[in-house]
Amino acid sequence: MEERKAFPGTLGENIAALYLQLGGCTILERNYRFEHVEIDLIVRDGPCVAFVEVKTRRSSAFGEALDAVSRGKLRNVRRAARKYLLDAPAEARAGEYRFDLVAIDCDWREGAMKLRHIRGIA
């Protein structure tokens, strides 16, 4: 049961990490935790550090992945990002920062996947 629950999230994070790396980003952290909050990916995108929330859906039964991020989640991610920036090495803190969303919707029956990268969501 635990494997089934973790499947879409882990797969989505791996796909998002590869997508971002192919786009020129450097992965700084994966699954950064502060208190009860997890930031899926922290990447360097040129002069910018991006805190990336990844949402993956196996079907549209509960809506699209893009719709799955609440204001409360974004508030918590911002709080965890502040902590990361306080503790991170100087090179990780240099420059600007932003909050991104990578939304992945999969239709396994059709063999299709839609990935959307929204920069600056918060």
Domains of the chain: 2-118 (3.40.1350.10)
Token pair 């079907």: residue: 59
- CA-based R_g, the chain, Å: 14
Give residue 7's pLDDT: 56
pLDDT band at 118 (very low <50, low <70, confident <90, very high): very high
Going by C-alpha positions, the residue among 104, 98, 92 that lies closest to residue 120 is: 98
Angle at 26 between CA 25 and CA 28, to 5 degrees: 135
pLDDT tens readout for residues 49-89: 999 999 988 766 666 777 778 788 889 999 999 999 999 88
Can you read off the two tokens belonging to residue 54?
């990844």
Structure tokens at 89: 């090495």
